[in-house]
Amino acid sequence: MAKPINFKVTFDEVPEPIRQDGAGATDPGPRDILRALENPDMLVPPITDAGTVPNLRFSFSDTNMILKHGGWSRQITSRELPIATTLAGVNMRLTPGGVRELHWHKQVEWSFMTVGRARITAVDQNGLNFIADVGVGDLWYFPPGIPHSIQGLEEGCEFLLVFDAGDFSDLDTFTITDWFAHTPKEVLSANFGVPISAFEDIPTQQKYIFQAEVPGPLESVAIPDPFGTRNFTHNLLGQTPITSPGGSVRIVDSTNFPVSEQIAAALVEIVPGGMRELHWHPNNDEWQYVLTGTGRMTAFAADGTARTFDIRAGDVGYMPFCYGHYIQNTGTETLWYLEVFKSNRYADISLTQWMALVPDQLVRDNLNVGSELMNALRKEKWPVVRFPGYTYGT
Ligand code: MN
Ligand code: MN
């Protein structure tokens, strides 16, 4: 007779689903302890959590890697995170010389460089061209239908791409190789005025990402354009931030980067012990990408419901329109993340500012609070707060 399988787990420091008040019970297994260690607030949710708020977080580590000679990509779309209907994200790496091929798509493309440098190209409907090198902290924006390419420079690169449709797929774009492969060769011959033999070696399917030589200096590839040039990039990290005691915020939208007509974003820094203040967004859903550190956020979804998520570098978070939320740095390193919106303007409503700008007695009567809180309310927004003496976990 087969030996009965022992599902019980053994591990040095096993976190158990037991709250301080004794609610809950041990989990003898089967279980994924590494996951439990990463998600303390999901294993033991705060007592304020309630109801059935859907999943609002997905890790790029749980996606399907597309590996190519020249780099890789992976995506988080509404297929991975069903609630994320407004935006989808792609994380891409290109080797030195690796090329994301010449292509275009129906969606807006907004990008943030996280590692290395890349050369991007684009040409618009009026023949205005753009060839530029971008580095860490830079972003680019390509309007729908504008053809473009990305190539890794000497050190290679990694970046985030955001598209304004939740069901986007980066494998389903209009690529130059795919079009050539699906056009009769006599038509190619007629279009370019060269013999059919000129197309003998064209690819038979889309390349998507491929390896090429590292291109020469920018000056060496300049194309004199009789129609002029048009800028599609912005140095977000180089912007002067809005600072408050817990960190900083850099906002980019169509007011300071005019081409970005359909995406608004903020690069947020939260120091250890700091917290992105309680707020919500009055214009659209928020799509988040965690760049460094660890944190937690609670979505307040009205009707007595709320759910807390632990987040870490490489995660995408999603906060539906109007849901109240915060992001707290729970670690010992600085938490950097991006907030991205399908909107031409960045907008948030601060709970503190709202309470400071309505009649004092009204707030006291709503919340049964006294002078201690009322005197602490600020009329100015502090996007990231940190109070002396406050330490996470106490
Ligand atoms: Mn693209
Ligand atoms: Mn927010």
Asked whether residue 137 is domain-assigned, the answer is yes
Mean pLDDT computed over 238-251? 97
Pair (214, 295) in one structural domain: no
Pair (225, 323) in one structural domain: no
Asked whether residue 271 is domain-assigned, the answer is yes
Return the closest-CA partner of residue 139 out of 39, 28, 225, 257: 257
Q: How confident is the model at residue 186 (pLDDT cuts 50, 70, 90)?
A: very high
Pair (257, 212) in one structural domain: no
Boundary residue ending a domain (234, 251, 283): 234
337 alpha carbon, closest ligand: 2
**Structure confidence at residue 195 (pLDDT):** 98
Pair (139, 82) in one structural domain: yes
Q: What is the 3-state secondary structure (H, E, C) of the chain?
A: CCCCCCCCCCCCCCCCCECCCCCECCCCCCCCHHHHHHCHHHHCCCCCCECCCCCCEEEHHHCCCEEECCEEEEEECCCCCCCCCCCEEEEEEECCCCEEEEEECCCCEEEEEEEEEEEEEEECCCCCEEEEEECCCEEEEECCCCCEEEEEEEEEEEEEEEECCCCCCCCCCEEHHHHHHCCCHHHHHHHHCCCHHHHCCCCCCCCCEECCCCCCCHHHHCCCCCCCECCCEEECCCCCCEEECCEEEEEECCCCCCCCCCCEEEEEEECCCCEEEEEECCCCCEEEEEEECEEEEEEECCCCCEEEEEEECCEEEEECCCCEEEEEECCCCCEEEEEEECCCCCCCEEHHHHHHCCCHHHHHHHHCCCHHHHCCCCCCCCCEECCCCCCCCC
Pair (221, 307) in one structural domain: no
Distances (CA, A) of 71 to 18, 136, 284, 391: 44, 18, 33, 41
Provide the CA 35 distance to its chain's centre, in angstroms: 22
Domain extent for 127: 59-171+208-234
State the distance from the centre of ligand 1 to the C-alpha of 281, rounded, in angstroms: 27
State the distance from the centre of ligand 1 to the C-alpha of 390, rounded, in angstroms: 44
Asked whether residue 15 is domain-assigned, the answer is no
List, for residues 311-353, the tens digit of each pLDDT value. 999 999 999 999 999 999 999 999 999 999 999 999 999 999 9
Asked whether residue 32 is domain-assigned, the answer is no
Q: How confident is the model at residue 354 (pLDDT cuts 50, 70, 90)?
A: very high
Pair (78, 114) in one structural domain: yes
| CATH code of the domain containing 229 | 2.60.120.10
Are the C-beta atoms of 271 and 382 separated by less than 8 Å? no
State the distance from the centre of ligand 1 to the C-alpha of 35, rounded, in angstroms: 33
Pair (341, 218) in one structural domain: no
Catalytic residue among 13, 109, 339, 380: 339
Query: How many domains does the chain contain in total?
Result: 2
State the distance from the centre of ligand 2 to the C-alpha of 346, rounded, in angstroms: 10
In angstroms, rounded to a whole number, what is the distance separating the alpha carbons of residues 111 and 137?
10
**Active site annotation includes 339:** yes
Pair (226, 244) in one structural domain: no
Asked whether residue 265 is domain-assigned, the answer is yes
**Structure confidence at residue 10 (pLDDT):** 63
144 alpha carbon, closest ligand: 1
State the distance from the centre of ligand 1 to the C-alpha of 148, rounded, in angstroms: 7
Mean pLDDT computed over 149-165? 98
Q: pLDDT above 70 covers what percent of the chain?
A: 96
In angstroms, rounded to a whole number, what is the distance separating the alpha carbons of residues 82 and 62?
15
Pair (341, 272) in one structural domain: yes
Boundary residue ending a domain (200, 218, 234): 234
Mean pLDDT computed over 291-300? 98
Pair (253, 377) in one structural domain: yes
347 alpha carbon, closest ligand: 2
State the distance from the centre of ligand 1 to the C-alpha of 161, rounded, in angstroms: 8
Asked whether residue 149 is domain-assigned, the answer is yes
Asked whether residue 286 is domain-assigned, the answer is yes
State the distance from the centre of ligand 2 to the C-alpha of 34, rounded, in angstroms: 28
Mean pLDDT computed over 181-187? 98
State the distance from the centre of ligand 2 to the C-alpha of 328, rounded, in angstroms: 12
**Structure confidence at residue 392 (pLDDT):** 77
In angstroms, rounded to a whole number, what is the distance separating the alpha carbons of residues 98 and 210?
6
147 alpha carbon, closest ligand: 1
List, for residues 192-232, the tens digit of each pLDDT value. 999 999 999 999 999 999 999 999 999 999 999 999 999 99
Mean pLDDT computed over 271-298? 97
150 alpha carbon, closest ligand: 1
Pair (80, 151) in one structural domain: yes
State the distance from the centre of ligand 2 to the C-alpha of 276, rounded, in angstroms: 8
Q: pLDDT above 90 covers what percent of the chain?
A: 94
Asked whether residue 394 is domain-assigned, the answer is no
Question: Is residue 13's pLDDT more than 70?
Answer: yes
Question: Is residue 2's pLDDT more than 70?
Answer: no
List, for residues 29-53, the tens digit of each pLDDT value. 899 999 999 999 999 999 999 999 9
The first and second tokens of residue 202, run together, are 């064209």
Boundary residue ending a domain (234, 250, 268): 234
Instruction: Name residues with Cβ closer than 5 Å to ligand 1, which is an ion.
Output: 109
State the distance from the centre of ligand 1 to the C-alpha of 142, rounded, in angstroms: 8
**Structure confidence at residue 1 (pLDDT):** 55
List, for residues 365-394, the tens digit of each pLDDT value. 999 999 999 999 999 999 999 998 787 765
Pair (113, 254) in one structural domain: no
In terms of pLDDT, which residue wins out, 89 or 14? 89
102 alpha carbon, closest ligand: 1
What does the mean pLDDT of the chain come to?
96
